[in-house]
Structure 1
Amino acid sequence: MGSTPGSNGRSWLRTARLMVVQTTRPRLHDLRYTLYRVLSINMSSSSGDDEDAENGDNTSVAGVTNREDLVNRLAVEPCRAPDDRLGRTTASFVGRPVEGFTQRTFGGHLVAQAVLASAATVEDPERVVNSLHAYFLTSGSHEHPLRYDVDAVRDGRSLSIRETTVIQNARKLTRISASFCVPSAIGISTAAEAVVDPAVPAPETLEPLNRRRRLGLPADGIKLPTRRRWETASRPVDIRYIDDSQRRCFWFRTAAVRGVHQNVHRAILAFASDRSLLPAIAHARGDLAGAHTMRTASIDHSMWFHADVRAGDWYLYLQDSPFHTPKSGLALGSIVDERGRPVASVAQQGLILE
């Protein structure tokens, strides 16, 4: 499984031991069922020059800021399930909080690990996560492990439904429901291939966050850390903001991964989907310049997958807020590939605390 950062330098290896999320079906009275299996995979990280790595790169390069690849950070391992007095089929997993978020746990990390944990209890290897709905109950700490208790709500002919509770130090942090299905069960999109608006710059022509920081460009709704925190924080998503756009949007990608199940790719996209979404509310209010000074909290997070995902590809994240008040707002996101084809839709409600 994922190595502990800094232990024997293992986190610098490009070959990692990861879980693959399809397994045998859990049985209530059989503790010998296989919760996961391990597979060696080759990982291809985004490249960056030495200066970027030293000063804090926003990609998953093997540098100061990223001691371990994102797919390793998201890995979960089986653990002893709690006593289930209600007679539900429950499997439990343990995962680590994401590095670099030193104030509280990152919602996208919880959602991604919940996808991997719940997928590990789905028997049919052809079924992939097609939607998820999460409620964030309270914030957690970055210093303690997370337990994922998975309930098998339903296994039907077309759909498998799982409900996962994220627990840390006996406190329930998040409840996440996820649906898994064979893609053909809900139909393959027959929409004509879309084309990205020619006015949208190509991602390679835009500055990554580390260069934006060095050039003094606007943060675009995120609070850029001090130099010390920049060099030690973990930023596994390469984000390229598009300035002066009527609709808030940016390109993003994560490190490429090969040889893993589609559910792993979708879990990685779920992680990225929570990145910088609530600033869309400030953008709609015309207050993006001050967004980084606001204290916000996500109430929930929903996501629907429309096509297969491939970690390492560029995706365009189009964001908007159709409704907002001085105290809250709804952020919507559409994720499309470089050819403009819909890949996922996202919705999140947030509170504005200050």
Structure 2
Amino acid sequence: MEPTQGDESSTGTTVNDEALVDRLRLEATGQDTYTGFPARGFDQRVFGGHLLAQTLLAAAHTVDACRVANSLHAFFLRPGTPHAPIRYSVSPLRDGRSLSLRSITAEQDGRTLLRAHVSFSVTREDEDSLHAPPMPCVPVPSSLTPLHARTAANGHLPDGFNWRTRKDWWTSSRPLDVRYIDGTHLEDPALRCFWFRTAPTPRGDRNTQRAILSFASDRSLLPVIHHTRGELTGHGHRTVASVDHTMWFHSDVNAGDWLLYVQDSPYSTAGTGLARGLIYRADGVPAATVVQQGIVPGSRSRAQA
């Protein structure tokens, strides 16, 4: 469960030059058991995307190299602290001719943080899709203002972005370069979109690339629920918490390339909601579908109305 409020990078005092792929690295500590660490140097609780990425990597260590992750289903149970290692235990559930399934538990100091299932399949790289929704027509990322520059110019972040970034975005706790697309550029005002990229990493390991994508998929997803409710009327922190997170991987991606995150919310109640996202590659090919359930209280102004 990952509340989203504040960020160390708003002060500009915390810097970590360690590459994202190195922050996610695991050490084998036993039979189907691996140890990972939170991002060093930051005092906030462990980012949910960090847990997702290390969960996928732990599971990938236990399958044949020819098998690539095609889905991830995770429940966030407790928040993680930034100062202790995280133990990932993997249980093989199935190994068929074309599909493998793994169950993973993430624990820290005797507390269970996450339980997940990851499936792997034998797939060709860039396998052609038979049908897929077209990518929205939006401005290219080079024409959009980086998030840190928007903050400097406007004094606040775009609606729903509580976690700041900086010019040297790769040194922050959530090292993503984000280019938000204003609603005036969208044909459907119910959508919420932004381009993002991570720092490049050596290509070749498809599961590592998909782990990095799962890290990024947890970035600023639940605010689309507030957006759909019409409650994103200005800047300011909103406390939300992720309950579970599901991903289906559709095509290969490469860290360092631009990806478009198109988000909407099909359903919500007064206290919970469902956020949905489709991640596209810059060539218009869908890379992943994401669905997340969250605890999302309504705005105070609406509650008092």
CA distance in 2, matches of 1:189, 1:161: 23
Alignment of 1:317-328 (within 5 A): 317-328=261-272
- Asked if 2 retains the 8 angstrom alpha-carbon contact of 1:322 and 1:330, the reply is yes
State which of 63, 70, 76 in structure 2 corresponds to 1:136: 76
Residue in 2 aligned with 1:236?
Answer: 175
Alignment of 1:174-323 (within 5 A): 174-183=114-123, 188-191=128-131, 196-198=135-137, 200-216=138-154, 217-224=156-163, 233-244=172-183, 245=186, 246=189, 247-289=191-233, 292-323=236-267
Structure with higher Rg: it is: 1
CA distance in 2, matches of 1:257, 1:232: 15
1:182 alignment partner AA: V
Alignment of 1:87-126 (within 5 A): 91-99=32-40, 102-122=43-63, 124-126=64-66
> After superposition, what is the alpha-carbon deviation per residue over 1:69-115, rounded to whole angstroms, capped at 9, x for unaligned?
101101011113xxxxxxxxx51100011357633211111010011
CA distance in 1, matches of 2:196, 2:170: 20
> After superposition, what is the alpha-carbon deviation per residue over 1:198-231, rounded to whole angstroms, capped at 9, x for unaligned?
4x1110111111111111254321225599xx99
Residue in 2 aligned with 1:156?
Answer: 96
2:145 alignment partner AA: E
Residue in 1 aligned with 2:301?
Answer: none
Deviates more, 1:95-104 or 1:323-332: 95-104
- Asked if 2 retains the 8 angstrom alpha-carbon contact of 1:76 and 1:94, the reply is yes
State which of 333, 336, 340 in structure 1 corresponds to 2:280: 336
- For the aligned residues, what is the CA RMSD? 2.7
* Structure 2, unaligned runs of 5 or more: 1-8, 299-305
Alignment of 1:7-18 (within 5 A): none
Provide closer, same or farther for how the CA distance between residues 214 and 314 of structure 1 changes in structure 2, counting only shifts above 3 A.
same
- Asked if 1 retains the 8 angstrom alpha-carbon contact of 2:165 and 2:172, the reply is no
CA distance in 2, matches of 1:269, 1:143: 24
CA distance in 2, matches of 1:250, 1:96: 29
> After superposition, what is the alpha-carbon deviation per residue over 1:148-201, rounded to whole angstroms, capped at 9, x for unaligned?
00111111111110111000000001001000011159x741348x76444x11
- Asked if 2 retains the 8 angstrom alpha-carbon contact of 1:70 and 1:255, the reply is yes
- Asked if 1 retains the 8 angstrom alpha-carbon contact of 2:147 and 2:164, the reply is no
- Asked if 1 retains the 8 angstrom alpha-carbon contact of 2:14 and 2:42, the reply is no
- Asked if 1 retains the 8 angstrom alpha-carbon contact of 2:178 and 2:197, the reply is yes
Deviation, structure 1 residue 235: 3.3
> After superposition, what is the alpha-carbon deviation per residue over 1:239-291, rounded to whole angstroms, capped at 9, x for unaligned?
10011241100000111112441000000000000000001101101112357
Secondary structure of the residue that 1:293 maps to in structure 2?
A: coil
1:94 alignment partner AA: T
Provide closer, same or farther for how the CA distance between residues 224 and 300 of structure 1 changes in structure 2, counting only shifts above 3 A.
closer
Provide closer, same or farther for how the CA distance between residues 291 and 128 of structure 1 changes in structure 2, counting only shifts above 3 A.
farther
CA distance in 2, matches of 1:69, 1:347: 27
2:194 alignment partner AA: F
Secondary structure of the residue that 2:196 maps to in structure 1?
A: strand
- Asked if 1 retains the 8 angstrom alpha-carbon contact of 2:157 and 2:235, the reply is no
CA distance in 2, matches of 1:232, 1:156: 41
Equivalences, count: 280
Alignment of 1:29-108 (within 5 A): 65-80=15-30, 91-99=32-40, 102-108=43-49
1:221 alignment partner AA: G
Residue in 1 aligned with 2:302?
Answer: none
Provide closer, same or farther for how the CA distance between residues 205 and 334 of structure 1 changes in structure 2, counting only shifts above 3 A.
same
Residue in 2 aligned with 1:36?
Answer: none
Deviation, structure 1 residue 140: 1.2
CA distance in 2, matches of 1:332, 1:166: 24
Taking structure 2 as the reference length, the TM-score comes to 0.84
- Asked if 1 retains the 8 angstrom alpha-carbon contact of 2:170 and 2:198, the reply is no
CA distance in 2, matches of 1:304, 1:225: 28
